Amino acid sequence: MSIGVFMEQLEKGYDYFTKNSYFFGEIPHKRAVEIADYKFFWDTSDDLAPFGCEESYIAFCELSGWIEENPNTPIIECFLWILESWDLEIEDFNDDIIEMENILKIIQDMDFYDELMSLDYTVIATGFGQLIIEGKIDDDVKNIIQLSILRQMNSHVLDAFLGMNEPCKYERYLYLQKLLEILEEA
């Protein structure tokens, strides 16, 4: 991606509704379009963006179905289900996951993509999926989403994910910074 296109992705003021009506079959909540007013956020073809990979698409679609089937259930229940599918308890998903030694252990000893990337993609897409569908992110799940974003910002994770591609690592890092800002406002 050229620097001009990359910078356009990060410009504030992008109105999703000017070019689209639906997002993976859902009409985005107006508040989501106002808060997440960056082109990269809505880009489903950019692997570095929050909804640009298959795991994110699946997570969003599963969330959509989950909300439809559980309309009065707090979203934390969906996160508990997600973590359980990775054999994790909510107590396991804490500040320890962003500690360097734990990140390096996953990178060195485990299946990096399945154990770290897929889980983080799912958590991030589910959290921001709630914003798209409901116009908010519940406070009791913000920390879970923040931890996944912070883990993705780790230099070792960026290296394992993107290798020596410094421009892509920089782009991914800036996207993740913007996600933290959106998360705070949501």
The DSSP call for residue 94 is: S
Confidence at residue 179, expressed as pLDDT on a 0 to 100 scale: 98
> CA triplet 32, 34, 37: central angle to 5 degrees?
95
The tokens describing 12, both together, are 């504030």
**What SS3 class is residue 12?**
strand
Measured in whole angstroms, the distance separating CA 12 from the mean position of its chain's CA atoms is 18
Domain ranges for the chain, please list them: 3-43+52-185
The tokens describing 130, both together, are 């709630």
pLDDT digits (tens, 9 = 90+) for 33-88: 999 999 999 999 999 999 999 999 999 999 999 999 999 999 999 999 999 999 99
- Partners of 38 in beta bridges: 12
- Taking CA atoms, 120 is separated from 17, 22, 71, 116, 182, in Å, by 27, 24, 24, 6, 17
Which pTM does this prediction carry?
0.94
The DSSP call for residue 7 is: H
Answer whether residue 108 shows pLDDT above 90. no
**Hey, CA dihedral for 39, 170, 139, 58, is it positive or negative?**
positive
Confidence at 115, pLDDT banded by 50, 70, 90: confident
- Pick 5 or 77 by higher pLDDT: 77
- Taking CA atoms, 101 is separated from 37, 105, 113, 138, 157, in Å, by 35, 6, 17, 30, 12
The DSSP call for residue 154 is: S
Confidence at residue 110, expressed as pLDDT on a 0 to 100 scale: 67
Answer whether residue 1 shows pLDDT above 60. no
Confidence at 107, pLDDT banded by 50, 70, 90: confident
| Averaged pLDDT, 101-121 | 85
Confidence at residue 5, expressed as pLDDT on a 0 to 100 scale: 57
| Averaged pLDDT, 88-111 | 88
What letters, b where the CB count within 10 A reaches 16 and e where it falls short, cover 137-175?
bbeebeebbbbbbbbbbbeebbebbbeeeeebbebbbbb
Identity of the amino acid at 107: I
